[in-house]
Amino acid sequence: MEKEFTGLINQHKGIIYKVCHLYCHEREERKDLFQEIVIQLWKAYPNFRKEAKLSTWIYRIALNTALTSLKKEDKNKLSKSISEDDFEIPAMEITENEHLKALYQAIQLLTEVEKAIIMLYLDEKNYDEITEIVGISKTNVGVKLNRIKQKLSKIIKNN
């Protein structure tokens, strides 16, 4: 089981990296969160019933772990701008496109749940998958996505 789990983590580590980079700005914080997510995945793995896709299950645990970790640390830090360093995600090339930079900076101003929803949307997850991962209704996903898009548009226009 250990070998199988290690293979699954290596296969889907991009998901974990994305969550870590979205919620942690410092390299050490990202490492700690990555480790905590892997621990939570390991604890939950024996109970994984394969009713959902593996990637959906990993996203759900990773996001829940990140949000729980943030609550535990009771961070009241102001969001800082994203630098290129914050997105050292394997298999994901980020260009120097100014629009993309503006989008990532705007995303940092969203609430934690909004960040999760937009990350999943940008990762081309459909409403059903977002519903399953975040735990809200499909209708609510649509409403929230529309509001998030409007909010991001307003933030980008004002900067």
Q: Find the largest Cα–Cα distance for the chain.
A: 51
Please state the rounded mean pLDDT for residues 60-66: 92
Residue type, 55: S
How many CB atoms lie under 10 A from the CB of residue 37? 25
How many CB atoms lie under 10 A from the CB of residue 88? 12
Pick from 155, 119, 129, 102: which is nearest to 22 by CA? 119
Please state the rounded mean pLDDT for residues 31-56: 90
Per-residue pLDDT tens digits for 66-78: 988 877 765 444 4
pLDDT beyond 70 at 3: yes
Q: Where are the domains of the chain?
A: 2-158
**pLDDT for the residue 127:** 92
Separation CA 25–CA 127 (nearest Å): 28
Q: For 12, how many CA atoms within 13 A lie in the half-sphere containing its CB?
A: 21
